[in-house]
Amino acid sequence: MERRQESLDSIEIFAGLSPDVRHALAARCTWRVFQPHQQIVGHQEDSRTVFFLTAGKARVTIFAVDGKQVTFRDITEGDMLGEWAAIDGRPRAASVEAVNRCTVAAMSQEMFWDVIREQPAVTEIVLKRLVRQVRNLSDKVLELSTQAVRKRIQNELLRMAERVVTEEGNAVIFPAPTSADLAARVATTRETVTRELGDMSRDGLIQRKDGRTLVIPDVEKLRGIAAAPTEH
At 1 the pLDDT is 37
- 68 plus 183 within the same structural domain: no
Listed as ranges, residues in the chain with pLDDT below 70 are 1-5, 231-232
What is the model's pTM?
A: 0.77
Number of domains making up the chain: 2
Q: pLDDT tens digit string along 127-145?
A: 999 999 999 889 888 888 8
DSSP letter for each residue of 91-112? PPSSEEEESS-EEEEEE-HHHH
The confidence score (pLDDT) of residue 163 equals 85
The domain boundary residue, chosen from 102, 118, 143: 143
Residues 159 and 139 in one domain: no
Distance CA 9, CA 140 (A): 31
**Measured CA distances, 196 to 26, 40, 177, 189, 199 (Å):** 45, 32, 14, 11, 5
Chain centroid to Cα 178, Å, comes to 16
Residue 232, domain member (yes or no): no
- The pLDDT of residue 90: 95
* Residue at which a domain ends, from 83, 110, 143: 143
pLDDT attached to residue 232: 47
Tell me, yes or no, whether 109 and 193 share the same domain: no
Domain range for 61: 4-143
Residue 182, domain member (yes or no): yes
Same domain, 57 and 116: yes
Examine the domain organization and report whether 217 and 122 are in the same domain: no
- 129 & 205 share domain: no
